[in-house]
Chain A
Amino acid sequence: MSQGSSFVFFRGFAWKALSLILLFYTFYQGFNGTVPEMPILHQTIRNLYFHVTMWMAMLVLLLSNAIYGIRFLSSGNLDLDLKADECAKSGMIFGIAGLVTGMIWANYTWGAPWVNDPQLNGTAASLLIYAAYFVLRNAISESSKRAKLAAVYSIFAFVMMFVFIMVIPKLSDSLHPGKGGNPGFNKYDLDSNMRMVFYPAVIGWTLLGAWFTELRIRIRRIEQKIELNA
């Protein structure tokens, strides 16, 4: 292997290895590191490394979906539509994971897996909006028309999701930290020990999501080539 190609291989490989290293670190330090002693939350505060970070990864993936949608609309390149589609799929996986983690956490701290909280309801609405994105895609057989409609819808979906999970919960009463007048986790985490795990966890989960997406895109491209040759 020449020097140039080995550099390209390492560059492509490095971020994937980094995601795994950060996730191993998250799991080790997440369970063994010190956390502030909080009433009600107790040790469940460690779920911050899994629940919130999943959401962060989902937000990055769904933002990528909207960006690829915008780029497709300005260029008409169908490969960008493929990327947008796969970003949305990975984003949904992380979204469902974030929802499940939140429900488990809520069950132990709020007494029920689903309470009437604007953030929870907004999350459910957002996931349904993205489920409709996939239904829309499957309903149109003509590829360029499908790509155009999906791109426009993805921009609308991201804005709506932002409103549902970031804006509305802050304006109304919510059980979530940092929403509805509640203090955020920044106020709790005075010693910053948690930040040393939280930020690497966000990067680790996001890179893992990007890895999933990249593999799926490459598989789809091969499938398309096979279809064209058949």
Chain B
Amino acid sequence: MNTRLSFLLFGLVFLSNTACAENINTWMVTDNKINVVVTVAFVVLSIMAVWLFRIETRLGKIERQSAQTKS
């Protein structure tokens, strides 16, 4: 779990930083590339969110099953 989430986190970080580091003002003025960066960041963040909620749901299920078995 950690590896995949960290990979996504680092992807986000790398994308945002490279975008910041390049002169994004020029991008915005000339060919609107910044919208592409924001869109990609949103997609990666959404994938991360779905992933986290999937783990959350599965864990909840296992925890409930474990509590039932105990009782």
Contact = CB atoms under 8 A, between A and B. Distances in A.
Interface of A: 16, 20, 23-24, 27-28, 30-32, 42-47, 49-51, 54, 89, 93, 97, 100-101, 104-105, 107-108, 208, 211-212, 215-216, 218-219, 222, 225
Contacts of B18: 104
A140 to B, nearest CB: 22
A105 B34 CA distance: 18
Nearest to B40: A27
Contacts, number: 91
A27 B59 contact: no
A215 B58 CA distance: 11
B56 interface: yes
A93 B42 contact: no
B16 A30 contact: yes
25 contacts: A16-B52, A20-B49, A27-B45, A28-B38, A32-B34, A32-B38, A42-B23, A43-B20, A43-B23, A43-B25, A44-B21, A50-B17, A93-B6, A97-B10, A100-B10, A101-B16, A104-B17, A105-B21, A208-B9, A212-B2, A218-B63, A219-B59, A222-B59, A222-B63, A225-B66
Interface in B10-50: 10, 13-14, 16-25, 34, 37-38, 41-42, 45, 49
A42 B25 contact: yes
B1 A216 contact: yes
Top 10 A-B pairs ranked by shortest CB distance? A47-B20, A108-B21, A104-B17, A27-B41, A46-B20, A50-B16, A43-B24, A43-B25, A101-B17, A97-B13
Contact size range, B: 20 to 34
Contacts of B6: 93
- Where chain A touches its partner, the secondary structure class is helix
Nearest to B41: A27
Contacts of A211: 52
Contact of A215 (B1, B13, B19, B20): B1
- Residue among B13, B25, B52 facing the most chain A CB atoms (10 A cut-off): B13
A9 B2 CA distance: 24
B71 to A, nearest CB: 14
A201 B35 CA distance: 19
Contacts of A89: 2
Contacts of A100: 10, 13-14, 17
